């Protein structure tokens, strides 16, 4: 895995797979976590992804998984704050691409953050959405 500057952006699908043993990507997420831990990789994300992850864990897993994410994972994340210009750009990306690609507004925000604020660092995601946006995605 090539992670320049040992930085990676984490998407909801990665976090969910990491904490939900029934997820088909649970083992792969564990392998990625081990690699990142062994190589001192810094995890970046946004409040949008945190919110989406907590909600998904609560609805598809259970309350305990959602709280575990908040208590154990979130404190170790670098959460990227952004201003109105990122939201505006994300709206434009969503309007332009969501008609033909299945991307969420959260994906559009993540795209803008990764490209413009994080110098296009790679992502950890199990969704096809990030790849369809042309981002570098692992696995």
CATH number of the structural domain spanning residue 19: 3.40.50.1010
pTM beyond cutoff 0.75: yes
- Domain-embedded: residue 137: no
Q: Contact 11/52 with Cβ under 8 angstroms?
A: no
- Domain-embedded: residue 138: no
pLDDT digits (tens, 9 = 90+) for 40-72: 999 999 999 999 999 999 999 999 999 999 999
Q: Contact 17/25 with Cβ under 8 angstroms?
A: yes
- Domain-embedded: residue 1: no
Residues paired with residue 123 on neighbouring β-strands, in sequence order? 9, 137
Element (H, E) at 33: helix 26-38
How many separate domains does the chain show? 1
- Domain-embedded: residue 42: yes
- Domain-embedded: residue 26: yes
- Domain-embedded: residue 60: yes
Confidence grade of residue 1 (pLDDT, cut at 50, 70, 90): confident
More confident residue, 3 or 121: 121
Per-residue pLDDT, 114: 98
- Domain-embedded: residue 139: no
* Burial class (CB within 10 angstroms; exposed 0-12, middle 13-18, buried 19+) of 112: buried
Q: What is the residue range of 123's domain?
A: 7-132
Instruction: Please state the φ and ψ torsions of residue 83, each to the nearest 5 degrees.
Output: -110, -175
Other C-beta atoms closer than 10 Å to the C-beta of 111 total 23
- Domain-embedded: residue 2: no
């Amino acid at each position: 895995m090539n992670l320049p500057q040992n930085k990676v952006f984490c998407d909801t699908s990665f976090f969910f797979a990491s904490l939900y043993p029934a997820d088909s990507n649970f083992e792969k997420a564990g392998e990625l976590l081990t690699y990142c831990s062994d190589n001192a990789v810094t995890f970046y994300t946004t409040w949008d992804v945190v919110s989406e992850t907590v909600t998904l864990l609560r609805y598809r897993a259970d309350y305990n998984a959602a709280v575990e994410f908040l208590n154990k994972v979130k404190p170790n994340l670098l959460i990227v704050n952004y201003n109105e210009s990122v939201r505006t750009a994300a709206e434009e990306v969503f309007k332009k691409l969501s008609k033909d690609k299945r991307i969420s507004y959260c994906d559009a925000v993540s795209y803008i953050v990764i490209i413009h604020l994080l110098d296009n660092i790679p992502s950890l995601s199990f969704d096809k959405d990030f790849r369809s946006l042309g981002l570098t995605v692992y696995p």
